[in-house]
Structure 1
Amino acid sequence: MDFKSSDTITGPRSEDVLPHTAAAAVKVVVVGGFGVGKTTMVGSVSEIRPLTTEETMTQAGIGVDDDYGSESKTATTVAMDFGRISISEELVLYLFGTPGQERFWFLWNGLFEGALGAVVLIDTRRLEVSFDVIGRLEERGVPFVVAVNEFPDAPDHGIETLRRALDLEPAVPIMPCDARRRESSRDVLMTLMRYLHSLTATRV
């Protein structure tokens, strides 16, 4: 949304090189319906130049794609977004944003492969598009947290109301988020890491 697509990268820049202190790298996917802010979240929080695969939306998508917000949205992700953030000196997260248009969902299985966890980004104006997203994660056994992207005209249903509407287990974290802000997006990822740690602790 706020980031240009398909940058030509001729070679690694100094900021793209993995920190020498990194001891573990974790794959995280950012999922959600069309236009919920996945590209924006990856781009806002990434410490390297984000890689996006956005293409211009055309008339061919009318009647096929979700057209919500198309009056202002001119591009859509057709493969994935990619970014990276260091949570600590030792832990690095690789972020993979999934395409939101349903016709590209066949790519999700490959993006889910090897993922330790996921962020489900939702828009309360279109809560119904999140049902299939969450169902796919549950089918694959990928732990996730839910981040409610704060659009200006979105209704505020309250966390527990959303939990019931999405039929989530009590332990699954739900939190508000402004995907445009690095600090807010980082807080979501930190919540995911704490949740994954808690799941590991209960299995020991």
Structure 2
Amino acid sequence: MSTHDPAASPAPQAPLWNIANILTMSRLVMVPVFVWFMFLTGLGWELAAFSVFVIAAITDRVDGELARRHNLVTDFGKIADPIADKALTGAALIVLSVQGELWWWVTIAILLREWGITLLRIAVLRYGVMPASSGGKLKTVLQIVAISIYLFPLYLLPFTGVFVWIAHGVMAAALAVTLWTGLTYVIDAVRLVRAKGAQGTQNGASE
């Protein structure tokens, strides 16, 4: 009779090359394709760049849902997914600024926040894991929607000027939420470090 407790066995790890990770990698591959299309002239290429960006953004939503629903979460995915997200939005923002469609200060502010907070979360890992911000999903949605509007050839639509102002408005909202969530991360990081420091002091005093 076996004395091994099946409940004590570790849960099987999801394979590295699962559908969620494949979608994440495909999003990374689409980034240079998107940038290439953006620098080609003609309506067809504009629509192609817009389509690639939208498809890549959709894969971001799909791969996360698949990973959680089918237990396909891997350490590789945890690292690659946010990198793919930031590569996609960062490339789009930079190209839009290069082409004069978006102010450089907006692009720089968003990129500094995105990569700055990523480095901050890594730096405080020894104190604990910082949970995702409650406004993170809203930030991502606003960024994707704003960029998508900028990428679409608005001159095809009636009342082009109205849609341009809509694009500016959504981007302003995206920038505001991006900076606000960045501030909340900094506050959370300070609280985490202080809490661990206070705990260490108490433990030392009790010894």
Whether TM-score is above 0.5 comes out as no
Q: TM-score range by the shorter chain?
A: under 0.3
TM-score (norm 1): 0.26
TM-score (norm 2): 0.26
Which one has the largest radius of gyration? 2
More helix by share: 2
